[in-house]
Amino acid sequence: MFLLSNPNKTTPYELEQGLQNPSTFQWYVVPLFVMLFYVVWKTIREKKYSVVFGGVAFWLWDVFNETWNSMVYATTGQPVWGTTLAGNSAYQILIGYNIEISIMFMFLGMATCYMISTTPNYEGDKFMDGNSNYLNDPNNLYYKVGVKNLSDEEKKIKRKAILNRVITIVMGSISAVCIEILLNYLGVLTWEKPWWQPNFPFILFIIGYVPFFVAAVVIHDAPRKWQIRGLLIELAIVVTLLIVAGSLGMLGHQISGWDQNDPTNWQWIGKHLKEGIRLIGK
């Protein structure tokens, strides 16, 4: 595993070559969006709204991670992870985030919700009926939550429901980490920090993926009103972070030129460092 580890090898110039560059656009993005639209619409027509909501929760968490990664890049000159032109992305949105990753995570979030055990008709007859029987649903994470003095049979049912979700979260996270290790080995996904490497994958597992799968499962099993509230809270956090980071100029290119020896080469770092020095001088 140590042979796969390449921390601090990628320069900011290599990472930024394809960043927000429309000339890299490829037509295959269009059918990808059509496929995503088809899957989402088909799932909605089948009234599996919880699957879509779980997928959105999974996707939003990824956007959150990609945003703070861009902020780390803007403030330290080095992201935690990055994507390069070697991946032939049709569009690189942020320093470690491209359009293919975005679509993939929505698919993966929905696939996660399809993998967990569910009770027939758990969505109910009407939209707001989703998971309305969650406290008595033997295939729900929240089965008998808050109920004391459970019978042996109820405890067995509860353990089975929780175990099913835990296995999905753990196995999904391990699989995702293994795929990332492969992508890192191929050079299309770089890991820039020494503590975010395949020879020590625990942080990547805990921070990089477990929260994604947990978010999908938690939202999927919640009653409809809490699904909506949970997604709105998650959306508000992500949008707020994007607005703050975007307003500070932390989401786009950070290199203003090609002189690696010039510290003012950095748009965000250089600007704020010079302002800080000026204030200190006063």
Mean pLDDT of 194-199: 82
What pLDDT is stored for residue 221 in this prediction?
A: 98
Mean pLDDT of 184-210: 87
What pLDDT is stored for residue 3 in this prediction?
A: 45
pLDDT, tens digit, 9 for 90 and up, residues 124-156: 999 999 999 999 999 999 999 989 899 999 999
pLDDT, tens digit, 9 for 90 and up, residues 249-270: 999 999 876 555 665 677 887 6
pLDDT at 4 over 60: no
pLDDT at 7 over 80: no
Q: What is the DSSP letter of 79?
A: -
pLDDT at 61 over 70: yes
Helices (H), 19-151: 29-45, 49-76, 99-115
pTM of the predicted protein model: 0.91
Distance CA(81)–CA(189), nearest Å, equals 7
pLDDT at 17 over 60: yes
Indicate the average pLDDT of the chain: 90
